[in-house]
């Protein structure tokens, strides 16, 4: 496999050096692997910290900045960061109002963020944790007990980040983050496997002419494999799977935030064409769409494919979604 890297051993450090060079508004500790807003402690805000394995960019470091995350902890490729990173991030953003950890439901992340929370609390830092578990494809996987955390992480980080920016207390920021997660559902599709720098080749086998329905962001198996289908048929599977689970979220006729997310190697030409099918299906089913994002936000290295995330958004969520944000990967209104 051809990759634009120096070596597998330095790929994360090299990427962080690139982030530092491109975004002087961030403090990037390359050696300790922590990315922090330069103004993280100003204004006495609640701090928002997230993190996870590298390879899902722009998640999470790309979402550090005004109106979103205070800090992010990148681990090795597809590997959880360690508690020391999370503790260092919490200490860097603590401004007297406490810290919220946003944790995707993968076993390593859950255990390490729990340990970091306990250590931070021993140091006198109040910590709340929110677990993101929006994937409807499978209940358990190679990496999780329970549902996987995927595209809803973006919704949680943006909306909770806006609440923190407004000065909401820790309990309120955590509560809105949990509401967003509980109101969100996702389903992913892979058209090709991903390739890690360490392996230098595909991490799983997906024969030509086949696709994986319900894939995870590390390439974990989904519900089934099928022969390749047109975009309209794939959208039908994904949207149906999400809406079947979203019926339990009130109000049933409420508007949704829509994310059509690329897995890393799918061109925007294809993603927008796919979104046209998603929008058609939602309109046909009487689901009003309040806001839409299309692009690569929660990726899986060079995997071809996409995911659909819908969030049943109330008036407060929409207001916070529309609030200004300025990060490397998401920005509007400022």
Query: Rounded to an integer, what distance in angstroms lies between the CA atom of residue 68 and that of residue 165?
Result: 8
Region at 295 (left for phi over 0; alpha for psi -120 to 50; beta for the rest): left
Q: Which of 23, 56, 60, 275 is catalytic?
A: 56
Q: Distance between CA atoms of 239 and 204, rounded to whole angstroms?
A: 25
> CB atoms < 10 A from the CB of 63, how many?
26
CA atoms within 13 Å, Cβ hemisphere of 190: 30
**What is the token pair recorded at 137?**
């494809």
- The rounded distance, in Å, linking the Cα atoms of 277 and 226 is 19
Strands 65-66 and 71-77: unpaired
The residue written with tokens 């071809």 in the block is 304
Q: Degrees (nearest 5) of the Cα angle 36, 40, 43? A: 175
Catalytic residue among 23, 60, 218, 275: 218
DSSP strand pairing (210-213 vs 224-227): antiparallel
State yes or no: is 23 an active-site residue: no
Tokens of 30: 């390359």
The HSE-up count of residue 63 (CA atoms within 13 Å, CB side) is 29
Rg of the chain (C-alpha set): 19
Write out the catalytic residue numbers: 56, 218
């Amino acid at each position: 496999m051809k990759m634009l890297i120096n070596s597998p051993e330095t790929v994360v450090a090299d990427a962080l050096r690139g982030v530092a060079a491109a975004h002087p508004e961030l403090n990037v500790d390359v050696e300790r692997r922590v990315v922090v807003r330069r103004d993280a402690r100003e204004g006495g805000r609640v701090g928002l910290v997230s993190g996870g394995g590298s390879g899902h960019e722009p998640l999470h470091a790309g979402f550090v900045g005004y109106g979103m995350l205070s800090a992010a902890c990148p681990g090795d490729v597809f590997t959880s960061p360690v508690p020391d990173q999370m503790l260092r991030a919490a200490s860097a953003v603590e401004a007297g109002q406490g810290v919220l950890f946003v944790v995707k439901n993968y076993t390593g992340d859950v255990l390490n963020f729990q340990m970091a929370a306990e250590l931070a609390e021993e140091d006198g830092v109040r910590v709340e944790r929110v677990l993101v578990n929006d994937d409807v494809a499978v209940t358990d996987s190679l990496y999780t007990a329970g549902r996987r955390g995927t595209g809803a992480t973006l919704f949680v980080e943006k909306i909770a980040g806006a609440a923190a920016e407004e000065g909401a207390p820790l309990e309120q920021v955590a509560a809105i983050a949990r509401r967003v997660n509980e109101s969100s559902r996702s389903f992913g599709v892979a058209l090709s496997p991903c390739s890690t720098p360490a392996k230098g080749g595909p991490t799983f086998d997906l024969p030509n002419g086949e696709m994986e329905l319900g894939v995870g962001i590390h390439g974990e198996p989904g519900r089934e494999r099928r022969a390749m289908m047109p975009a309209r048929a794939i959208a039908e599977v994904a949207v149906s799977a999400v809406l079947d689970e979203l019926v339990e979220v009130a109000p049933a006729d409420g508007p949704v935030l829509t994310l059509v997310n690329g897995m890393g190697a799918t061109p925007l030409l294809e993603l927008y064409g796919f979104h046209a099918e998603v929008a058609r299906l939602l309109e046909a089913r009487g689901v009003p769409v309040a806001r839409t994002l299309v692009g690569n936000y929660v990726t899986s290295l060079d995997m071809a494919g996409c995911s659909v995330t819908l969030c049943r958004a109330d008036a407060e969520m929409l207001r916070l979604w529309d609030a200004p944000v300025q990060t490397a990967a998401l920005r509007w209104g400022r």
